[in-house]
Amino acid sequence: MKHILSQHLGKRSSLIPFLQDIQKEFGYLSTKAIDELSRSTDISANEIYGVATFYTQFRFSPPGEHTVRVCQGTACHVRRGRQILNEVEQQLKIKAGQTTEDRKFDLERVACLGCCALAPVVVVDDKVHARMTAKKISSVLSQYKGRQTRKK
Amino acid sequence: MTSLQEAFTKARIQWDKLQDSKVPIFFVGAATCGRAAGASEMLERLRGYIKAKSVDALVIEVGCLGLCYLEPLVIVHKPGAPRVCYGNVGPDEIIAILENHVLGNDPCAQWALGKVTAGELEGIGDFNEHPMLRRQVRRILRNCGLIDPENSYHYLARDGYRGFLKALEIGPGKTLEEVKASGLRGRGGAGFPTWRKWQFCRNAPGETKYLICNADEGDPGAFMNRSLIEGDPHAVLEGVLIAGFTLGASQGYIYCRAEYPLAIHRLELAIGQMRELGLLGENIQASGFSFDLTIKKGAGAFVCGEETALIASIEGGRGMPRPRPPFPAESGLWGKPTVIQNVESLGNLPLILNNGAKWYAQYGSESSKGTKTFALAGKVERTGLVEVPLGITLKDVIYDIGGGIPSDKVLKAVQTGGPSGGCIPAEKMDLTVDYESLTEAGSIMGSGGMIVLDEDNCMVDIAKYFLSFTQEESCGKCPPCRVGTRAMLSILERISAGEGEMADLDKLETIAQTVKDGSLCGLGQTAPNPVLTTLRYFRKEYEDHIEKCRCPAFVCSQMISYHIDRDRCTGCGACARICPVKAISGEAKKPHVIDQHVCIHCGACLSTCPDVYAAVYRRSGELTRYEARREKRDKTN
Ligand SMILES: Cc1cc2nc3c(=O)[nH]c(=O)nc-3n(C[C@H](O)[C@H](O)[C@H](O)COP(=O)(O)O)c2cc1C
Ligand code: SF4
Ligand code: FES
């Protein structure tokens, strides 16, 4: 936290980069981090929340181990991206925007990842899976499920 | 720091050496789209093989050639032979190409798309004659897929920064004249003449001026800007320099969406290289012009693509638009005169300066000059990034370049301009692609998203899709936008659930007008376009939904019922097991039935029923649809 704070000294315009760095480091914006940020920048916590809640990027609870992002951009939509999302929701037993109970998966909807030519697209962590089908998605997800059990 | 002249010389030597390299080279398309298609795995195999067998070969990661549907793409340089571009190259194919072509005598024509350089090679034609490329004019994309985007020498060797040096030589006044003569209009959507915005800003009082490059690419279904930055970042940055110099700006910002990590990485690298080359900082190339650049990452809000919202976001606040005037060109970032320009608009500038306005305006129509990139996606055979002269017809783009509609389906419409644009129906495909004619048809040119829709796409659903997007993204500042988009969305939801009334259509039109007229920023002002164009061209489809409770495209799930054909069902039970609500029952080995009151219309049974039976079919209104696979089977029987 300290090195993040020391990087963008006191400029109001650094607020968003600040929040981005904190989220990158800790995975989310905790109350503690925001309080600390508020103290060292003289921007009230209220104001910080005001800015942070405006942008969909920021989250206020710890993320799951893997983040599954299902593209709902136009190109993916017209190639049945909605069905892919339904399928993932069913398999993980959560809705978009939620985290599985065991905190293994986050599920997010995103608008276009820039791979429209290969629609529909699903991203797990940083890996883009193109030309998804309802059938393919379960093998993709099980890859990640498998990986965790091995880790333990 | 190397002097720029020195760098030019070194770059030339390096580039020439690369052209007749004595070692084989693999140029692997490794932009985001290439990686998504499997380029990373292929690269890993290739590198592993080269290392294990000590093959003397070079691997260079390049940007996207635009033929995304054939990715992963590789251009292979074999000493003494013409370079060949291959498509659909997986880990196995790349090793085969290495063993058989590079180290052997078989050029692997079965995967070849064409020769990239001159020369003869049995069974392989010219890459430029590839049907997707033949009609294109690749100017902005001239380097994409051919140079190493992380090596500034490649850009320098391809006339890089010559346009900027030209601008320094002729001065800001003449540079502005040149851009004016070229007829360049903004590529971010609205098509505002670039020179005029510059003129305002130059005439605005005050010493400090800013330039912002808008790389937010908010249209959900477009990737032109991403591709250009990933494939040729210096082209955009040279444009930034030219604009900054003409405006007398001292600081530039690049506002890039956070969903594009690779693009951001390439920009960061390229900016570092510019510093090395003395193209950023104090007194650039002893011209007296000082300029610096900062990257700002977006945080996921579509409205931040709007100029005043973008400024608010850079200033560190909530990205809400404010009324204009004052226009940013007079009072923008921190109250200073600011010009905001789209990535592609900037990417055009080096070309204009280097080749002259006349050359630039060779292509294009009366009012729309030059070329424009489009992200071709949706129901079209050849998806990817294309660059065409403005004034080309939609038909040429979709059929000649795009190869038409896959699976013998029928074209229904083309969506341009994303959430701010509209759907142009199939019968209007003779329309030329320019700012005016697309606006006349009720859509807009937009930033370059072009989504092709076929008979399986429901126009009510498309309208609903865009409305739910804009409704979610509305910043909520003005009531017509905030409330109006929600009201329109709920009407559309009703219609697609089979609960609409005919009066709803007039209501939609009235609200649309209110939202158009009463909204502060472009988001609200254009949000009704998808609804209005679909109402204008596809009214019958709305009426079908309302009066006959039928969705002719079989998309609106509430209007679709699923049934099991008694004569085909063998009672295998696969559907009953998959149904999430247990709506399917029947004895083993006897035909099953679906309880329509329990069914939630998810369609799981349809996709689960084994191909050999294909017993599940759908109904919407009085329409019945069997799956294509079943018809195929019936035909062969
Ligand atoms: C809601 C909204 C979103 C926009 N999104 C973008 C965008 O993602 N990229 C872009 O270049 N322009 C976008 N624009 C247009 C910009 O506000 C602006 O007109 C453009 O960047 C100007 O550059 P140009 O003249 O080079 O086109 C958007 C406008 C609105 C109203
Ligand atoms: S039109 Fe919509 S998005 Fe634009 S300022 Fe008003 S409420 Fe915000
Ligand atoms: S619409 Fe899904 S990647 Fe663009």
Find out whether B496 and B461 touch, Cβ atoms under 8 Å.
Answer: yes
Q: Please tell me which of the candidates A17, A83, A116 has its beta carbon nearest to residue B377.
A: A116
Verify that B286 and B182 share a domain, yes or no.
yes
Verify that B493 and B569 share a domain, yes or no.
no
Verify that A133 and A76 share a domain, yes or no.
yes
Whether A130 is in a domain gets the answer: yes
Using one digit for the tens of pLDDT, what is the confidence trace for A16-75? Answer: 999 999 999 999 999 999 999 999 888 999 999 999 999 988 999 999 999 999 999 999
Q: Are strands B371-378 and B338-342 parallel, antiparallel or unpaired?
A: unpaired
Cα of A145 to nearest chain B Cα, Å: 21
Q: Which residues of A touch B32 (CB under 8 A)?
A: 113-115, 128
Closest atom, ligand 3, to C-alpha of A73: 1
Q: What's B426's domain CATH number?
A: 3.10.20.600
Rounded to whole angstroms, the Cα distance separating A3 from B557 reads: 52
**Which strand ranges, in their side-by-side order, compose the sheet holding B561-564?**
B561-564, B616-620, B623-625
Whether A124 is in a domain gets the answer: yes
Whether A85 is in a domain gets the answer: yes
* Cβ of A61 less than 6 Å from ligand 3: no
Verify that A44 and A98 share a domain, yes or no.
no
Average pLDDT over residues B107-114: 95
Average pLDDT in chain B: 94
Verify that A70 and A46 share a domain, yes or no.
no
Please report which helix (H) or strand (E) contains residue B373, including its range. Answer: strand B371-378
Please report which helix (H) or strand (E) contains residue B414, including its range. Answer: strand B411-416
Q: What's B200's domain CATH number?
A: 3.40.50.11540
Please report which helix (H) or strand (E) contains residue B85, including its range. Answer: strand B84-86
Distances (CA, A) of A66 to A84, A86, A141: 18, 18, 10
Q: Which residues of A touch B446 (CB under 8 A)?
A: none
Q: What is the pLDDT of residue A4?
A: 66
Cα of A17 to nearest chain B Cα, Å: 7
Verify that B539 and B570 share a domain, yes or no.
no
| Structure-token match 């093989």, residue found | B49
Residue B376 pLDDT exceeds 70:
yes
Cβ-defined contact of B220 to A58 (cutoff 8 Å): no
Q: Is B534 exposed, middle or buried (0-12, 13-18, 19+ CB in 10 A)?
A: buried
What is chain B's alpha carbon radius of gyration, rounded to the nearest angstrom?
27
B105's tokens:
């005598």
Verify that A26 and A81 share a domain, yes or no.
no
Q: Which residues of B touch A11 (CB under 8 A)?
A: 316
Verify that B347 and B285 share a domain, yes or no.
yes
Using one digit for the tens of pLDDT, what is the confidence trace for B193-250? Answer: 999 999 999 999 999 999 999 999 989 989 999 999 999 999 999 999 999 999 999 9
Verify that A79 and A123 share a domain, yes or no.
yes
The pTM score is: 0.93
Q: Of all protein residues, whose CA lies closest to atom 22 belonging to ligand 1? A: B341
Backbone phi, psi, residue B599, to 5° = -55, 135
Rounded to whole angstroms, the Cα distance separating B177 from B170 reads: 10
Backbone phi, psi, residue B509, to 5° = -65, -40
Verify that B172 and B317 share a domain, yes or no.
yes
Please report which helix (H) or strand (E) contains residue B177, including its range. Answer: helix B162-182
Closest atom, ligand 3, to C-alpha of A74: 1
Q: What is the pLDDT of residue B581?
A: 92
A92's tokens:
């993980």
Q: What's A101's domain CATH number?
A: 3.40.30.10
Q: Of all protein residues, whose CA lies closest to atom 10 belonging to ligand 1? A: B188
Verify that B493 and B598 share a domain, yes or no.
no
Rounded to whole angstroms, the Cα distance separating A50 from A39 reads: 16
Q: What's B525's domain CATH number?
A: 1.20.1440.230
Verify that B433 and B503 share a domain, yes or no.
no
Q: Is A39 exposed, middle or buried (0-12, 13-18, 19+ CB in 10 A)?
A: exposed
Verify that B601 and B531 share a domain, yes or no.
no
Give the mutation target among B320, B471, B486, B526 for probing the ligand 2 site: most ligand atoms within 8 A of CB: B320
pLDDT classification of A150: cutoffs 50, 70, 90: very low
Whether B155 is in a domain gets the answer: no
pLDDT over 90, % of chain B: 92
Verify that A30 and A73 share a domain, yes or no.
no
Query: What is the amino acid identity at position B342?
Result: N
Taking each continuous run of H as one helix and of E as one strand, the counts in chain B are: 25, 19
Using one digit for the tens of pLDDT, what is the confidence trace for B593-611? Answer: 999 999 999 888 998 899 8
Length in residues, chain A: 152
Q: What is the pLDDT of residue B472?
A: 94
Verify that B387 and B308 share a domain, yes or no.
no
Verify that A40 and A96 share a domain, yes or no.
no
Q: Which residues of B touch A19 (CB under 8 A)?
A: 299
Verify that A93 and A47 share a domain, yes or no.
no
For residue A13, what are the domain limits?
Answer: 2-54
Whether B148 is in a domain gets the answer: no
Cβ-defined contact of A110 to B384 (cutoff 8 Å): no
| Domain end position, chosen among A28, A54, A80 | A54
| Domain end position, chosen among B131, B152, B170 | B131
Please report which helix (H) or strand (E) contains residue B389, including its range. Answer: strand B384-389
A-contacting residues in B 551-590 (Cβ below 8 Å): 580
Verify that B505 and B419 share a domain, yes or no.
no
| Domain end position, chosen among A54, A75, A93 | A54
A-contacting residues in B 408-427 (Cβ below 8 Å): 415, 418
Using one digit for the tens of pLDDT, what is the confidence trace for B453-462? Answer: 999 999 999 9
Closest atom, ligand 1, to C-alpha of B194: 25
Query: Which residues sit opposite A127 in a β-bridge?
Result: A124
Whether A61 is in a domain gets the answer: no
* Count of domains for chain B: 5
For residue B519, what are the domain limits?
Answer: 460-548
Whether A86 is in a domain gets the answer: yes
B11's tokens:
């770059």
Verify that B445 and B542 share a domain, yes or no.
no
Find out whether A36 and A2 touch, Cβ atoms under 8 Å.
Answer: no
Find out whether B406 and A79 touch, Cβ atoms under 8 Å.
Answer: no
Backbone phi, psi, residue B99, to 5° = -75, -45
Partner B contacted by A112 (CB < 8 A): yes
Q: What is the pLDDT of residue B631?
A: 54
Q: Please tell me which of the candidates A76, A77, A114 has its beta carbon nearest to residue B32.
A: A114
Using one digit for the tens of pLDDT, what is the confidence trace for B416-437? Answer: 999 999 999 999 999 999 999 9
- Maximum Cα–Cα distance across chain B: 87
The 3-class SS string of B282-339 reads CCHHHCCCCEEEEEEECCCCHHHHCHHHHHHHHCCCCCCCCCCCCCCCCCCHHHCCEE
Query: Which residues sit opposite A108 in a β-bridge?
Result: A69
Q: Which residues of B touch A130 (CB under 8 A)?
A: 33, 36-37
Query: Vertex B446, ends B395 and B173: CA angle to 5°?
Result: 115
Whether B541 is in a domain gets the answer: yes
Cα of B466 to nearest chain A Cα, Å: 8
Using one digit for the tens of pLDDT, what is the confidence trace for B552-580? Answer: 999 999 999 999 999 999 999 999 998 98
Verify that B440 and B375 share a domain, yes or no.
yes
Whether B138 is in a domain gets the answer: no
Using one digit for the tens of pLDDT, what is the confidence trace for A100-134? Answer: 999 999 999 988 888 999 999 999 998 899 999 88
B-contacting residues in A 126-145 (Cβ below 8 Å): 126, 128-130, 134-135
* Count of domains for chain A: 2
Residue B72: is the preceding peptide bond cis (ω within 30°)?
yes
Whether A152 is in a domain gets the answer: no
Verify that A38 and A76 share a domain, yes or no.
no
Partner A contacted by B319 (CB < 8 A): yes
| Domain end position, chosen among B517, B548, B579 | B548
**Distance of CA A128 from the midpoint of ligand 1 (Å):** 27
Give the mutation target among B210, B226, B307, B472 for probing the ligand 1 site: most ligand atoms within 8 A of CB: B307
Rounded to whole angstroms, the Cα distance separating B300 from B318 reads: 12
* Cβ of B221 less than 6 Å from ligand 3: yes
Whether A138 is in a domain gets the answer: yes
Whether B140 is in a domain gets the answer: no
Rounded to whole angstroms, the Cα distance separating B324 from B340 reads: 14
Whether B566 is in a domain gets the answer: yes
Verify that A45 and A83 share a domain, yes or no.
no
Q: What's B75's domain CATH number?
A: 3.40.30.10
Helices (H), B356-434: 357-360, 394-395
Q: 3-state DSSP call for residue B339?
A: strand
Partner A contacted by B375 (CB < 8 A): yes
Residue B24: is the preceding peptide bond cis (ω within 30°)?
no
**Any idea which ligand is nearest the CA of A118?**
3
Nearest chain A Cα to B557, which residue?
Answer: A83
Q: Please tell me which of the candidates A57, A79, A128 has its beta carbon nearest to residue B300.
A: A57
Whether B472 is in a domain gets the answer: yes
* From A59-68, B483-492, B510-519, the region with the lowest mean pLDDT: A59-68
Q: Please tell me which of the candidates B33, B260, B449 has its beta carbon nearest to residue A74.
A: B449
Whether B454 is in a domain gets the answer: no
Verify that A71 and A140 share a domain, yes or no.
yes
Partner A contacted by B297 (CB < 8 A): yes
